[in-house]
């Protein structure tokens, strides 16, 4: 699944990200309402894990705004306040589930997994860049109708680059695919980027390195 984790506490955000990534999920993060809104406008997700208390507003208000815009992605709210009034407010805003801090990571994963099983989220199933077609449902990449032989990690990298568009920081790629930003992940990313470039050569799309920033998957046609 593709999961967006919105929390302004860095340690909590990284802990949740690592746990989901190790379970095989692709994770994107945001630390504010504004950043979450930008990411949701550019990428598709299966579930959003949304903290209620954010530096620039309320996660409940953001959830309500998403629902008003027709966004149907399942939302699980995280909060330090577990009163009935707080839970009702979140559910009335359109949240699908509610988890009170401190929480068990195992319970969080189980609840998110349950939300993801509720059915497909309305979203574009494919992204086209040049002659490259990224099928988000089948988790595959093809060029001119021919499947590109990418490994699972290589497909995950291409998905992040395709969904986010623009320059994706190295740290975002590592956190999304491996759940950490260690030197081992950095070295592996460098190797896989080189492999993806070779496999997409002549496809009408280029995996460009932006020195000091990250990578971008762009059409060259």
* pLDDT band at residue 172 using 50, 70 and 90 as cut-offs: confident
Q: Residue 185 and residue 56: Cα distance in Å, rounded?
A: 32
Instruction: Give the residue among 71, 41, 73, 75 at the shortest CA–CA distance from 58.
Output: 75
Assess whether pLDDT exceeds 70 at residue 57. yes
Domain definitions of the chain by residue range: 2-116, 126-219
Q: Each residue of 145-162: pLDDT tens digit?
A: 889 998 888 888 898 888
| pLDDT band, residue 6 (cuts 50/70/90) | very high
Q: Is 119 helix (H, G, I), strand (E, B) or coil?
A: coil
- C-alpha neighbours within 13 Å on the C-beta side of residue 61: 9
State yes or no: pLDDT of 119 exceeds 50: no
Q: Could you tell me the end-to-end alpha-carbon distance of the chain, in angstroms, rounded to an integer?
A: 31
In CATH terms, the fold of domain 126-219 is: Arc Repressor Mutant, subunit A (1.10.10)
Cβ-defined contacts of 20-25 (< 8 Å, 24+): 20/109, 20/112, 20/179, 21/175, 21/176, 21/177, 21/178, 21/179, 21/180, 22/179, 23/109, 25/1
pTM (global) more than 0.85: no
At the topology level of CATH, where does 2-116 sit?
A: Rossmann fold (3.40.50)
* 36-40, 100-104, 124-128: the lowest-pLDDT one: 124-128
Average pLDDT, the chain: 84
Any idea which residue has 């815009």 for tokens?
69
Residue 75 has pLDDT above 70, yes or no: yes
């Amino acid at each position: 699944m593709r999961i967006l984790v919105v929390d302004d506490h860095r340690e909590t955000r990284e802990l949740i990200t690592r746990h989901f990534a190790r379970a095989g999920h692709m994770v994107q993060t945001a630390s504010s309402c504004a950043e979450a809104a930008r990411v949701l406008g550019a990428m598709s997700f299966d579930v959003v894990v949304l903290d209620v208390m954010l530096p620039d507003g309320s996660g409940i208000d953001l959830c309500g705004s998403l629902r008003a815009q027709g966004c149907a992605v399942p939302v699980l709210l995280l909060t330090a306040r577990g009163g009935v009034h707080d839970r009702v407010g979140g559910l009335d805003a359109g949240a699908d589930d509610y988890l009170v801090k401190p929480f068990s990571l195992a319970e969080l994963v189980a609840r998110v997994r349950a939300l993801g099983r509720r059915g497909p989220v309305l979203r574009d199933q494919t992204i086209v860049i040049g002659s490259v077609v990224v099928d988000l449902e089948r988790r595959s990449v093809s060029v001119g109708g021919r499947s590109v032989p990418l490994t699972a990690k290589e497909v995950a990298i291409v998905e992040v680059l395709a969904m986010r568009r623009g320059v994706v920081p190295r740290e975002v790629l590592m956190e999304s695919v491996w759940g950490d930003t260690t030197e081992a992940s950095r070295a592996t990313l460098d190797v896989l980027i080189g492999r993806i470039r070779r496999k997409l050569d002549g496809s009408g799309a280029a995996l460009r390195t932006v020195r000091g920033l990250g990578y971008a998957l762009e059409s060259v046609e």
